[in-house]
Amino acid sequence: MRIRRKPHADRWLRHLAATASLAVGAALAAASAALAAEPPAAAESVTTEAPAAEAAAAGPVVHIRIDSIIHPISAQFLAGAIEEAEERDAQALVVELATPGGLLESTRTMFTAMLGTDVPVVVYVAPSGAQAASAGFFLLMAADVAAMAPGTNTGAAHPVGGQGEDIEGAMGDKVEQDAAATIRSLAARHGRNAELAEAAVVDSRSFTADEALEAGLVDLVAPSLPALLAALDGRTVEKGGASRRLATAAAEVETVEMGSFRRILAALAHPNIAYMLLSLGFLGLYFELMNPGAVLPGVVGALCLLLALPALAVLPVDYAGVALIFLAVLFFILEIKVTSFGMLTLAGIVSLALGGLMLFDSPLPALRVSLPMVAGVTLFAGLVVGGLMRLAWRAQHDRVRSGSEGMVGEVGRATTELGPPGAARPGKVFVHGEIWNAVSPAPVPAGTPVEVTAVTGLLVEVRPVARGA
């Protein structure tokens, strides 16, 4: 249910009260003194209406979940939720967070939006076992109210490069100092322990929920969302230069889900999905090149590559990994054309595995392609390429089954007596559904089963086949 504050409501109530007062005054002037008890009844009616007006003006609590790495899609989702909360004049926006980290640019966009809204923002690290590491720690410190569930942890916010590597030299010092200053500013803005917040950036310190509460990094530890809302009720939050008193205990909770299209984009941005799509895309194109006209593998491969592009746009890609995957496909193609006794296939499989391991290199496991995924894709690629190589080998070594060469080895029956080559008139055989002129090195009586041994123009050479053979 959409709940909005209506600015014209007060003017309407004042108009209604004035009209009621005129009516009561006229009644008092025309009635007897016994009707003097009516004003208290009118006063009682106004008194009972006031709480109803306050309840109608109380906004809901908007609740969202972010349980993926922080990337531009996460930033768009949070911005949309903030707009929704502002439109509904929400009591608070509760961001249930579980993330291993993400991109610094997207993180800065998110906490800038959190600081710029007039709606109190509560970041709640949940459920138990979740973490708000790296970029998630910045969002936690930017919240007006920072809360964690028991069994969660936060911190480990030291900045790293796009491929997860340490940033060396002067540039590394600049990035570290900038991140440290940012986290100090966010922590001090909300009265939190700026020194320990900086240690999470500079020294990659991590904190459990109880440690963070004791150190003054978070404000609450609550086991569930209802418990969190109960603890927030009556709390005063400084927002936009004014104090806002939260009334969350009885507020309606409206959960805003991520849209279907955005959810698909967020799923595609997972490192495992991106690696699988990239590998299947290259393999599909490889299959199409090896079997022109198959159509379906080429179409599927092209779609997989297109679907992988959003992930490559938002994840920290090491293009050496992309190059290794492309090199693997090249090795597979060369295996069909060059006799390497399987060495090129082996090189392709190794390149595909190394490409997957290097595609998204990060110190956080959630930002890397998992080993089971690399093993699975590599095994699948090996089976596909091995199957194609077997088909190609059979095509090169199998007996010819078309044209005159395809008749060699066919079994037929002599319809006339057969004489040796050079005879005045060749005999006739019925073979391959046709009647052919035929000769045989040894005499063959009519009706004898024969096997074709050679074809010369329209003449076949045969030999008798023992009955029962």
221: which 2 tokens?
A: 């530890």
Residues 6+ positions from 85 with CB-CB distance below 8 Å: 62, 92, 93, 117, 119
Determine the number of helices (DSSP H) and then strands (DSSP E) in the chain. Answer: 15, 16
Indicate if the pLDDT at residue 416 is higher than 50: yes
Closest CA to 201 of 221, 172, 224: 172
pLDDT by residue (tens digit) across 71-94? Answer: 888 999 999 999 999 999 999 999
CB 344 within 8 A of CB 331: yes
Average pLDDT over residues 274-300: 84
CB 278 within 8 A of CB 313: no
Residue 111: per-residue pLDDT: 94
Mean confidence (pLDDT) of the chain:
79
pLDDT by residue (tens digit) across 233-269? Answer: 999 998 878 888 999 988 999 999 988 888 888 888 7
pLDDT by residue (tens digit) across 188-203? Answer: 999 999 999 999 988 8
Residue found under tokens 């090795």: 331
Indicate if the pLDDT at residue 37 is higher than 50: no
Average pLDDT over residues 417-428: 82
pLDDT by residue (tens digit) across 60-70? Answer: 999 999 998 88
Structure-model confidence comparison of residues 30 and 160, the more confident one: 160
Judged by DSSP in three states, 131 sits in strand
Task: Show the CA angle centred on residue 237, arms to residues 141 and 144, nearest 5°.
Answer: 15
Cis peptide before 127 (omega within 30 of 0): yes
Give the span between the Cα atoms of 244 and 235, in whole angstroms. 8
Task: Show the CA angle centred on residue 25, arms to residues 19 and 29, nearest 5°.
Answer: 150
List, in sequence order, every beta strand (DSSP E) within 160-317.
Answer: 206-208, 220-221, 236-239, 242-245, 253-255
Give the span between the Cα atoms of 80 and 6, in whole angstroms. 22
Tell me how long the chain is.
Answer: 469
Give the span between the Cα atoms of 161 and 321, in whole angstroms. 16
Judged by DSSP in three states, 254 sits in strand
Q: What is the pTM of this model?
A: 0.62
Q: Which of 3-17, 153-167, 190-204 has the highest mean pLDDT?
A: 190-204
Task: State residue 100 phi and psi, 5-degree precision.
Answer: -85, -5
